Structure 1
Amino acid sequence: MSHIVNNFDEGRAAIGVFGKSYSWKSHKELFLALMEDCDECLLVSPFLASNFASLFSNISFERKKVELISTCSPRGDDQFSKPHALKKFGEVVKATKGEWPTIGLDQNLHSKVYVFRKEGSPFAGIVTSANLTDNGLARNHETGILLQSKDALVNLESTCRKHLDYVNLSEWQVDKLCQTADIMERNYTPQKDREIGLKSILNNYATPSAGNRSTALRDGTKYYIKVSGVKDRPILPAQRRPVNQPLCILTFAKAPKGISLGDCLLEVAVGGACFLSYYACASAVREFTGEEKATNSDHKRWPYYIYANNLSLNYGPTWFEKPLLYNQVVEDFKREYPSYSVTTAGGDHFKGAMQMGHSYIRVTKQFGEYVRFRIDAQIG
């Protein structure tokens, strides 16, 4: 069953869900009522409220799973304000939930969709012209449809996530966008659809979605083998352990020298002898705090780390189904390109450096690009 939702008709509409009656005179009344009762929500809107603290003043996000999909594409001067709107949204959710919400970007987004779940099942969704703003939800003459079909809502969620360009923006990544917006606004001159450099920041720092193949590594990218796992805790295909985190922490026993923002790390498994995924470095080298080392033996053993964006999200989750064995990849590379070395030190394999305990090994651009091609070929 579907119902019309708007902000201008006289009288109230009502529905019953889970034995509870919902009535409303505007998008905002219905939206907030569903927000209050759900335990999961997907909010999709290209434009965002400037004051989420006010909009969500009576909503607690404790024990709620919250996902926002928006955009940072150049639309008028929106790039100056959008990063701060994303930050305010995240901060409001984190204030009561204790965790940063899931935030994704679709750079061609125009849809406005709000889907609400309870106990794992979608129970209501609004497809509408109303943006996630006070004007859109309460003041403008906006019209939408309230859906309650589970199949339709599941399909709607899938459709909204299908065209994401960037996934799981972390708090520090949003801070990078805010810093860029603040710097560029100082030299502001009115301009139609002003691009202030957020595309470059997203390309360097944010994780592209599994379907986003437009993120390109820079011309000067250096390639490294990144070793994961140890003899007493090997990573084996039989464990069927997915590598599916968009933003990862890659750790090192010694501070890695030479790894720079945008460099590519090709992850290999100790024990499994295969490639797991490949990443772009998204931060400077950091060190775990003394407290973190004291409470986590792994942080003490591998005290240095970088943030890295997973560039093979279509491959990593199922790498174990058809493992890409690195001995075979090296053999194929040497057969096809006999004049090129595998490592920049002139070696024909990186296995010797692994056996000596190195957690990262620099390889040639030719070999690095070949590995990327082979991983991408695994996923079509």
Structure 2
Amino acid sequence: MIINNLTRDNHLKYLNEIFKSAKKIFIISPFITKNINLINFGDFSHLEKITIITTLKPYDVDQYSKVLYFKQLYNILNLKNIEFEIQIDNSLHGKVFIAENNNSVKAIITSANFTDSGLRINNEWGVLINNFIEINKIKNGIIENVKHKSLNELNIDSFLKKIEQTPITQNVNELLTLNLSLLLENKDNYFDLNNKTTFWLKPIGVTDDLVPLTQKFDLIDSDLHFSKRPSGIKMGDIIVSYAVGHLKILSISKVNSEIKNVNKESRWPFYIVGKNLTPNYGREWMKNNITISNQKSLFLSQTSFNITPSGKNTYGSLMQGADKLKITQEFGKYILDKVFKIDYELQKI
């Protein structure tokens, strides 16, 4: 079903309709209303939990209005014993509204933000769907992309104190200095690693066809090819790709497919699909002097761990033409943490 704001049968009407019988509500929107009465969540008798996923961008005036709205909403929901969760994803752009109960799930996927103008006035278009599988894919994909721990009322109270210390200036030419993202905590295990996760180094390119410095590795996922069946690599493993020649790290991927076969005539007949964990870094890899050589040296000088399970601490097989090398979790996490920090900073650009 198509929804628009050209008539009174607008987004706000349909949101109220799908929300009124929901036990769980998900509001996924970069912009959030200042009007606490836009939707009266306290009137929904079946409601058990609201989750809002939005942005909280540094030096943005919206920080002030969002935090105030969250506190007002806590005041209402606490009286009704309704759970409230806030998640922050500063790369969020899409808008999705989901209503779940025991028997069904409905979602509105739309261009409309969760604001009065977005839901009633602006020329916005959306679609109402009830496909359980597809809605869960969308919801889980968005939640998995959130890098920070969820916010609670104590976090919001601390944000309000920070806002009191950094009020909005009346001088229109003066830049805002409020940066609440500094108070966000990263998830303890954002990449969902466990003791069975294996880390691998993988070369990209060949000696007579090096990776050009202009090539970007910023796709959300990609096929990683191998000359031989990559035995040992499994779903959930982490692959650190680097360039043959200058040895710079290009990207870090998480394996999200089984081993596939292209054709036996290909030079690299086997491949797996890797989810790119560092697309922002992959866009700018050539500007960072992070190589498998200097990272090995730094790691060995700063820790007491080995870089390979064998303890040899060399890249011997890779230098002799192998297309993968198993490394220790300690070394793999060391590289992942360093590259991910750069990726996170580049996300703000």
The two structures have a TM-score, normalised by structure 2, of 0.52
The answer (yes or no) to whether the contact 1:72–1:79 under 8 Å persists in 2 is no
Q: 1:250 to 1:78 in 2, by over 3 A?
A: farther
**Separation in 1 of the partners of 2:251 and 2:96?**
27
- Equivalent pair of 2:98/2:105 in contact (CA under 8 Å): no
SS of residue in 2 equivalent to 1:345: coil
- 1:260–1:281 CA contact under 8 A, matched in 2: yes
Distance 2:200 2:322 in 1: 11
The answer (yes or no) to whether the contact 1:286–1:304 under 8 Å persists in 2 is: yes
The alignment partner of 2:293 has SS state of helix
2:336 maps to 1:367: no
CA distance in 2, matches of 1:283, 1:357: 25
Alpha-carbon contact 1:210-1:314 (below 8 Å) kept: no
Deviations 1:152-171 (A, max 9, x none): xxxxxxxxxxxxxxxxxxxx
Q: Which runs of 5+ in 1 are unaligned?
A: 9-25, 29-43, 47-67, 86-108, 114-125, 130-142, 148-177, 183-194, 294-299
Residue aligned with 2:94, SS: strand
**Residues 1:249 and 1:146: Cα distance change in structure 2 (over 3 Å):** same
2:211 is matched with which residue?
235
Partner of residue 261 from structure 2, selected from 277, 287, 306: 287
Query: Which residue identity lines up with residue 211 of structure 2 in the other structure?
Result: I
Q: Which runs of 5+ in 2 are unaligned?
A: 12-26, 30-92, 125-130, 150-185
> What does residue 300 of structure 2 align with?
334
Q: Per-residue CA shift, 1:277-307, capped at 9, x if unaligned?
A: 11100010011147xx5xxxxxx01011111
> Are 2:94 and 2:111, in contact at CA under 8 Å, matched by a contact in 1?
no
Cα deviation 1:332-352 (Å, max 9, x = unaligned): 001011x321111222122x1
Alignment of 1:316 with 2:282, yes or no, is yes
Q: Distance in 2 between matches of 1:264 and 1:355?
A: 20
In 1, Cα distance between equivalents of 2:102 and 2:111: 20
Does the 8 Å contact 1:127/1:146 carry over to 2? no
C-alpha distance in 1 between matches for 2:269 and 2:318: 19
State whether residues 315 and 378 of structure 1, in contact with CA within 8 Å, keep that contact through their aligned partners in structure 2.
yes
**What is the distance in 2 between the residues matched to 1:347 and 1:328?**
17
Q: Using the alignment, how far apart are the partners of 2:136 and 2:144 within structure 1?
A: 19
Alpha-carbon distance in structure 1 between the residues aligned to 2:102 and 2:137 = 12
> C-alpha displacement at 1:272, in angstroms?
2.1
Tell me the number of residue pairs that the alignment of Structure 1 and Structure 2 aligns.
216
Q: Paired residue for 2:192, among 208, 213, 217?
A: 217
1:73–1:79 CA contact under 8 A, matched in 2 = no
Match of 2:121 among 118, 134, 144: 144
Cα distance in structure 2, aligned partners of 1:247 and 1:78 = 34
Going from structure 1 to structure 2, the CA distance change for 1:209 and 1:266 (only over 3 Å counts) comes to: farther
In structure 1, give the amino acid aligned to 2:122: I
> For the residues of structure 2 that align with 1:198 and 1:319, how far apart are their CA atoms?
29
Where 2:222 maps in the other structure, the secondary structure is: strand
Shift of 1:231: 0.8
CA distance in 2, matches of 1:306, 1:356: 22
CA distance in structure 1 between the partners assigned to 2:104 and 2:245 by the alignment: 46
The percentage of aligned residue pairs carrying the same residue is: 19
Q: Which amino acid aligns with 2:7?
A: N
SS of structure 2 residue aligned to 1:255: coil
| Residues 111, 5 of structure 1: alpha-carbon distance in 2 compared, 3 angstrom cutoff | closer
The 3 A distance-change label for structure 1 pair 327 and 45 is: closer
Deviation at residue 72 of structure 1 after TM alignment: 8.7
Query: What displacement does 1:323 show?
Result: 2.6
* Distance in 1 (alpha carbons) for counterparts of 2:28 and 2:342: 34
Residue 210 of structure 1 contacts residue 312 of structure 1 at CA under 8 Å; is this kept in 2?
Answer: no
Structure 1 position 242, deviation (Å): 1.3
Q: Does 1:128 align with 2:127?
A: no
**Secondary structure at the residue paired with 1:301?**
coil
Q: Is the 8 A contact 1:242 1:317 kept in 2?
A: yes
Question: In the alignment, is residue 304 of structure 1 matched against residue 329 of structure 2?
Answer: no
> Do the aligned residues in 2 keep the contact of 1:280 with 1:309 (CA within 8 Å)?
yes
* Aligned mates of 1:331, 1:286 — CA distance in 2: 35
Please tell me the residue identity of whatever aligns with 2:285.
W
Q: When the two structures are superposed, what TM-score results if normalisation uses the length of structure 1?
A: 0.48
SS at match of 2:311: coil
Q: In the aligned structure 2, how far is the partner of 1:373 from the partner of 1:80?
A: 37
CA distance, structure 1, for counterparts of residue 334 and residue 198 of structure 2: 13
RMSD of aligned Cα (Å): 4.1
Contact 2:220-2:275 at 8 Å conserved across structures: yes
Once the two structures are superposed, residues 94-138 of structure 1 have per-residue CA deviations (whole angstroms, 9 ceiling, x without a partner) of xxxxxxxxxxxxxxx99725xxxxxxxxxxxx9632xxxxxxxxx
* Distance across 2 between alignment mates of 1:349 and 1:72: 51
Q: Cα 1:371–1:271, aligned 2, differ >3 Å: closer, same or farther?
A: same
